[in-house]
């Protein structure tokens, strides 16, 4: 008998070959198909008449095809189809519509959806590029599905063959055959308390809503059925996180002792008075470090808020307790900078701290030596890149791991495994500048505790941000010269290293914010007439050196340089031996040179908002007034305009993050795939924030009470579902 876990291949109407296409879309079982929800609904019970519609609104209109024609204009072929409804006409227009040539026949009934516009020629209305569906003759078996009701519109599951109409019919059959046998996953007590419908009812209602359902609630996924399905998905995410967090607390860690002697060691090296926020964060970290269970903490703070020093203090506590501490950075440049910075700060100490750098591009000889020092305990503080977990590093006595500027899952797992028999698990501190809105951070990183640096160190002046188009570049170079003459330094940033290809990855491994998804997409559809030529770092370095910036000391930095060359360039810029650093986005994260007060970002339209904010964070790190100049060449899309305007308007990382989240959607914002974060089937983290919080509350209450609200059978169901959800959706096996 057909059940929810039946492979799609065995569903009526789907054979092995369609099943193969569906597998490509991640649909393997009946359940997967049921969770392919409509992305839109049309009210075909009460379709709009052409007398009611108003130019400018989005509407679905049903009418009869009168005729169609393919016009070959000089610019492109245009396909026109005329729809009549009573005395009204609606002209539907598709640019490059050759493919539609034989689709319509006079007399067919067609539903179109799009923006209604006034038409000069036909005295009626027109629609440009509407979505359409040719409706069946009233005698057909399924006609009640597509007409005279609220009709679900689906994304195609493969070409026109498995198009919206196929999906609709398939789901209708499937729901019919399952006939009320879709099992519940949530305890009745929770559903009752929240007034939510059963899973069976919900799945029926989201696909084929009853007549009186509000169309606007359907469109915004706010019907009871939608809310229940979203809640369910988020509940199992939160439940898994909550259990992970509790389990971590039960494991054996290391109880560090922040003795008076340790505090004295910290005071000795601290180069400035910490801000109140830094003190509070360190206090929270120290509290965790004192506990005998392993610390799992996220330190969040906008660019320039001073996370590094907090981490260094925590690492000193570990070292003073006789352990090793490791700091992992996403790029070699950043690792090198941390290494140089730590060495400089620790010079002040009476005790001799042994600091070791380990990155992927060190030569074999150096690497071996570094690994040796780490293994036999000669290294106290180890700073490196991903090489730290990739190069089979054997730590002698690892006590604390700090992961800088990224928030990927999985990393912590690996460090956990590095503990030696008989030793406790190391503490882990993850740092990020990605200003995840706090409520989201708490819910998404439910297995981490959170500390926030919500205050910048004193004496910072706001960064002045200006936009400029390429024809004013002379002015910009003059501006750079003026600042260099005053003893300051500048960055000039380009989107690519050389040539105009987009395919030039810059980080040693992809950071969540990178690469910017939008520019990459745009590059796939170049403008009609020209392929944009991109200015690249290497060419512009030569050009600027020979031309507008002749006489200044220029350096070039990008990801393809050897580790040594990177270090040399960075050092020279840091020491003020270079005036201008021409660079790619390798400087995006963490680079800290307070004397640099100007950053010019060329092709700013190509960068994502998070990236622009990070790049701007390279300046304004000292007390001198700083400038960020966003240069754009050529056409700027409407969305890029919004990003650039936002950059000029505000410097608040949280505000920018909210906008970024809204513009890009959560998947891209969080770098879902790389981050190992869930790809939701129904939930949307921006839209459903309130349900996320509800789910978190319910999940932690459920765990805290041991699920006593539920019957034993229900608890077993919840456990099974949890395991399944985490294995399938989040690829983590150890949740149950």
To ligand ADP, the closest distance from the beta carbon of 304 in angstroms equals 5
Q: Which is nearer to Mg ion, 519 or 590 (CB)?
A: 590
To ligand ADP, the closest distance from the beta carbon of 614 in angstroms equals 9
**CA atoms of 433 and 329, how far apart (whole Å):** 13
Torsion angles phi and psi, residue 104, rounded to 5: -110, 145
DSSP type of residue 496: B
To ligand ADP, the closest distance from the beta carbon of 496 in angstroms equals 25
Please answer whether residues 732 and 678 qualify as being in contact, where contact means their C-beta atoms are separated by less than 8 angstroms. no
Token pair for residue 132? 């359409």
To Mg ion, the closest distance from the beta carbon of 553 in angstroms equals 26
Please answer whether residues 441 and 239 qualify as being in contact, where contact means their C-beta atoms are separated by less than 8 angstroms. no
**CA atoms of 172 and 33, how far apart (whole Å):** 11
Q: Which is nearer to ligand ADP, 185 or 432 (CB)?
A: 432
**CA atoms of 214 and 153, how far apart (whole Å):** 16
Please answer whether residues 299 and 401 qualify as being in contact, where contact means their C-beta atoms are separated by less than 8 angstroms. no
**CA atoms of 493 and 490, how far apart (whole Å):** 10
The entry of ligand ADP, Mg ion, none that residue 472 binds, CB within 5 to 8 Å by partner kind: none
To ligand ADP, the closest distance from the beta carbon of 595 in angstroms equals 10
Q: Which is nearer to ligand ADP, 275 or 359 (CB)?
A: 275
Token pair for residue 71? 């016009």
Q: Which is nearer to ligand ADP, 275 or 293 (CB)?
A: 275
The entry of Mg ion, ligand ADP, none that residue 303 binds, CB within 5 to 8 Å by partner kind: ligand ADP
Q: Which is nearer to ligand ADP, 441 or 694 (CB)?
A: 441
**Cα diameter, the chain:** 93
Closest CA to 534 of 548, 549, 520, 547: 520
The entry of ligand ADP, Mg ion, none that residue 301 binds, CB within 5 to 8 Å by partner kind: ligand ADP
To ligand ADP, the closest distance from the beta carbon of 385 in angstroms equals 16
Token pair for residue 268? 């000795």
The entry of ligand ADP, Mg ion, none that residue 277 binds, CB within 5 to 8 Å by partner kind: none
| 496 DSSP β-pair partners | 536
Q: Which is nearer to ligand ADP, 48 or 280 (CB)?
A: 280
To Mg ion, the closest distance from the beta carbon of 605 in angstroms equals 26
Q: Which is nearer to ligand ADP, 199 or 621 (CB)?
A: 621
The entry of ligand ADP, Mg ion, none that residue 28 binds, CB within 5 to 8 Å by partner kind: none
**CA atoms of 559 and 570, how far apart (whole Å):** 12
The entry of ligand ADP, Mg ion, none that residue 304 binds, CB within 5 to 8 Å by partner kind: ligand ADP
The entry of Mg ion, ligand ADP, none that residue 377 binds, CB within 5 to 8 Å by partner kind: none
Please answer whether residues 561 and 572 qualify as being in contact, where contact means their C-beta atoms are separated by less than 8 angstroms. no
The entry of Mg ion, ligand ADP, none that residue 223 binds, CB within 5 to 8 Å by partner kind: none
Q: Which is nearer to ligand ADP, 457 or 633 (CB)?
A: 457
To Mg ion, the closest distance from the beta carbon of 589 in angstroms equals 7
> What number of CA atoms fall less than 13 Å from residue 194's CA on the CB side?
21
CA 669-671-675 angle, to 5 degrees, is: 135
The entry of ligand ADP, Mg ion, none that residue 594 binds, CB within 5 to 8 Å by partner kind: ligand ADP
CB atoms within 10 A of CB 138: 10
Helices (H) and strands (E) in the chain, counts: 27, 21
The entry of ligand ADP, Mg ion, none that residue 272 binds, CB within 5 to 8 Å by partner kind: ligand ADP
Residue with the CB atom nearest ligand ADP in the bound state = 306
**Interface with Mg ion by CB under 5 A: which residues?**
590
Q: Which is nearer to Mg ion, 258 or 590 (CB)?
A: 590
**Interface with ligand ADP by CB under 6 A: which residues?**
272-275, 278, 301, 303-309, 433, 457, 590, 592, 594, 621
Q: Which is nearer to ligand ADP, 411 or 589 (CB)?
A: 589
To ligand ADP, the closest distance from the beta carbon of 561 in angstroms equals 22
The entry of ligand ADP, Mg ion, none that residue 305 binds, CB within 5 to 8 Å by partner kind: ligand ADP
To Mg ion, the closest distance from the beta carbon of 404 in angstroms equals 6
Token pair for residue 686? 């921006």
To ligand ADP, the closest distance from the beta carbon of 307 in angstroms equals 4
DSSP type of residue 599: E
Q: Which is nearer to ligand ADP, 398 or 433 (CB)?
A: 433
**CA atoms of 485 and 495, how far apart (whole Å):** 27
Closest CA to 122 of 81, 153, 150: 81
Residue with the CB atom nearest Mg ion in the bound state = 590
Measured CA distances, 580 to 268, 381, 497, 538, 540 (Å):
34, 32, 17, 14, 12
């Amino acid at each position: 008998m057909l059940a929810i876990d039946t492979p799609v291949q065995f569903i009526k109407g789907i054979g092995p070959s369609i099943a193969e296409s569906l597998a490509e879309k991640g649909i393997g079982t009946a359940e997967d198909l049921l969770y392919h929800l409509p992305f839109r609904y049309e009210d075909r019970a009460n379709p709009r008449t052409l007398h009611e519609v108003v130019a400018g609104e989005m509407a679905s209109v049903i009418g009869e095809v009168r005729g169609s024609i393919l016009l070959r204009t000089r610019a492109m072929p245009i396909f026109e189809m005329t729809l009549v409804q009573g005395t009204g006409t609606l002209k539907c227009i598709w640019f490059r519509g050759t493919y539609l040539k034989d689709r319509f026949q006079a007399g067919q009934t067609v539903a179109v959806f799009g923006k209604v516009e006034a038409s000069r020629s036909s005295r009626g209305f027109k629609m440009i590029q509407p979505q359409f569906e040719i409706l069946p003759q009233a005698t057909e078996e399924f006609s009640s599905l597509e007409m005279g009701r609220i009709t679900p519109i689906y994304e195609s599951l493969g070409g026109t063959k498995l198009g919206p109409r196929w999906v609709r019919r398939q789901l209708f059959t499937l729901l019919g055959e399952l006939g009320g046998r879709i099992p519940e996953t949530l305890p009745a007590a929770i559903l009752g308390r929240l007034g939510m419908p059963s899973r069976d009812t919900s799945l029926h209602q989201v696909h084929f809503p009853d007549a009186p359902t509000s169309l606007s609630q359907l469109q915004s996924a706010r019907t009871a059925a939608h809310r229940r399905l979203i809640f369910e998905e988020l509940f199992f995410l939160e439940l898994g996180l909550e259990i992970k967090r509790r389990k971590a607390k039960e494991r054996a860690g290391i109880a560090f002792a922040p003795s008076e002697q340790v505090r004295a060691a910290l005071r000795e090296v601290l180069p400035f008075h910490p801000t109140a926020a830094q003190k509070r964060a360190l206090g929270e970290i120290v509290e965790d470090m004192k506990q005998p269970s392993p610390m799992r903490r996220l330190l969040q703070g906008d660019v320039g808020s001073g996370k590094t020093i907090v981490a260094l203090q925590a690492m000193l506590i570990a070292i003073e307790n006789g352990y090793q501490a490791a700091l992992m950075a996403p790029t070699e440049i950043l690792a090198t900078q941390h290494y140089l910075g730590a060495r400089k700060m620790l010079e002040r100490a009476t005790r001799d701290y042994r600091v070791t750098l380990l990155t992927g591009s060190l030569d074999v000889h150096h690497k071996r030596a570094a690994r040796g020092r780490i293994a036999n305990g000669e290294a106290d503080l180890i700073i490196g890149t991903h090489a730290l977990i990739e190069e089979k590093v054997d730590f002698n006595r690892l006590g604390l791991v700090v992961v800088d500027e990224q928030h990927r899952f999985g990393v912590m797992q690996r460090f956990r495994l590095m503990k030696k028999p008989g030793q406790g698990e190391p503490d882990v501190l993850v740092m990020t500048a990605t200003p995840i809105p706090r409520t989201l951070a708490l819910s998404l990183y439910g297995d981490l505790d959170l500390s926030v640096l919500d205050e910048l160190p004193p004496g910072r002046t706001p960064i002045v941000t200006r936009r400029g188009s390429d024809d004013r570049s002379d002015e910009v170079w003059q501006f750079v010269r003026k600042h260099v003459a005053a003893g300051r330094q500048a960055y000039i940033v380009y989107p690519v290293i050389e040539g105009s290809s987009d395919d030039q990855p810059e980080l040693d491994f992809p950071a969540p914010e990178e690469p910017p998804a939008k520019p990459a997409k745009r590059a796939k559809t170049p403008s009609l007439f020209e392929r944009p030529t991109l200015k690249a770092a290497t060419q512009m370095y030569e050009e600027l050196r020979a031309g507008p910036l002749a006489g200044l000391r220029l350096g070039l930095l990008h990801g393809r340089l050897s580790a040594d060359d990177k270090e040399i360039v960075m050092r020279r810029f840091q020491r003020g031996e270079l005036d201008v650093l021409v660079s790619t986005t390798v400087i995006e994260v963490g680079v800290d040179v307070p004397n640099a007060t100007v950053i010019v970002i060329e092709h700013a339209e190509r960068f994502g908002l998070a990236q622009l904010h990070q790049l701007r964070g390279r300046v304004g790190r000292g007390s001198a007034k700083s400038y960020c100049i966003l240069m754009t060449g050529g056409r700027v899309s409407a969305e890029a305009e919004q990003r650039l305007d936002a950059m000029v308007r505000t410097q608040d990382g949280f505000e920018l993050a909210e906008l970024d989240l809204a513009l890009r959607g959560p998947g891209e914002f969080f770098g879902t795939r790389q981050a190992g974060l869930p790809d939701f089937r129904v939930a949307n983290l921006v839209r459903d924030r309130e349900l996320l919080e509800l789910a978190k509350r319910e999940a932690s209450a459920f765990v805290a009470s041991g699920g006593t609200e539920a019957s034993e059978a229900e608890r077993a169901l919840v456990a099974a579902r949890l395991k399944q959800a985490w294995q399938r959706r989040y690829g983590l096996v150890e949740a149950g």
